[in-house]
Structure 1
């Protein structure tokens, strides 16, 4: 990364995308190793979960259909009810296991990529073994930040459901209420995207600064100010790309029964490779966006002190005081 931090505040949307690509290209080997270690299992499990979920749900649907057409109170009806309960339990256990593994791998991937990009920025000597030795320690900080963000998302969604319930249950059914509901829905989506951006930037803060949890969330909200439109646009583009690949996989592979088996396999591999690249690219972009936001607020990151902070993960980690990482503002 050849840019001085003072110049990074002027990077726009396409410049951030270009800078992220250059970072990956400059250290191809180590990013490939990261791709194949935490990110490949993450991508594979995500796509496999779509296929397995579809198969499990088809079983539930068939059993439910048979139960509906069976006379209540008969032995067959009771057996179908028991089978249906077992299938739902199996489905829920699978989902719980999937989200647990996805959660662990996503945090490990975030820790590895953010640490790697920051090490490249500070010109630290970097090896894959070093990155992997740091990841478990950084993962704990990310887990705490994620827990707080998950709580915030939970409260936000509950409030939205309460508003929807009030609109449907209390207000009269007319054109104005329909319009009001659409407005609330748009506001909800905008808020959800903004919270996603806060979470993504808070993850970077948790790795590169002393604060994590609520402190990282608060710092993330502050850093986004002034670059909100760029941050939201980047998040929207990445999420839309993710949704497109997911939809393509479900349409062509999961539900592509009319296609020959080898074609489904090839399409599945294409989706896997593209999703793998998207995960890596997105995490690098988040880190570059953090540096851009820091520069915009004239918060100088001294490469020497950031290097010390990163190196501290290699020993017994001791929380750094704020001035060790968060240095004085520079003048432009």
Structure 2
């Protein structure tokens, strides 16, 4: 099947495949839209089952970055990169440098940063081969913590702000006593758990890797739940914080939460899922709006800004979601569709 015929093609500007025989690197970069500026988006390393899965992922993710940047009010477009392989086994410094050479072929139309399976140190290695990297350093942080270039703290804080807005919209209350299930306790999920715990939320957590789960249980009083069971838990908020397609035809009817709001990209398997959630009275916080904290952080680090401006921008995520929720209530349209229309007004 041609890339142009792919169901997720969505008028992408540039899709490129790369193989470096010496390091074993196999990767794809997709730039969706640069009307507002160069395409910026993270590089993900994942052990994809096949190349079609990888292509689908990078096309969906890069498109999402265009919408994310537009809704966050940033002067940049959307792009994404994926690397085939297990980051715990296959990643090498030489491979990361080769990935930097691949990024450099875009001549600044794509700027890469950290994503799942890729650390700040990996981006620094890519930076030895290209100047078109971001998130390798920070001049300041929104909360006064150590600024090391990792966008995860800002992403987690933005999701926290978004969850507060969603809970206020549905329950007209704060987070105290609210039951929240977090699926995926990685760099973002564990920080989200900390924010929610401080606000008095009751946490349930699941992950295929035990480290984050063990920390959430020990430090935040979370309850461990099997990955297979957490989707259908009887909670107030379900927060998908792992991979995409978290809400799909297989689990949508078992979800009991009144709110779906998490850090994962491309949470809805299809647009029809968003419509069905609306019909069932489940409030969905569009993923590219609520998880925009990381890209907002990276943008501020690259421009003439400061910690106060960054924090104010992150807090606007809640305000944007409140606007989307209100418009959805008024029009009867799914929140995802409302967000898409607002974003398209900005970048098309």
TM over 0.5: no
Comparing both structures, which one devotes a greater share of its residues to helix?
A: 1
> Given the two structures, how large is their TM-score scaled by the length of structure 2?
0.26
> Given the two structures, how large is their TM-score scaled by the length of structure 1?
0.27
Comparing both structures, which one devotes a greater share of its residues to strand?
A: 2
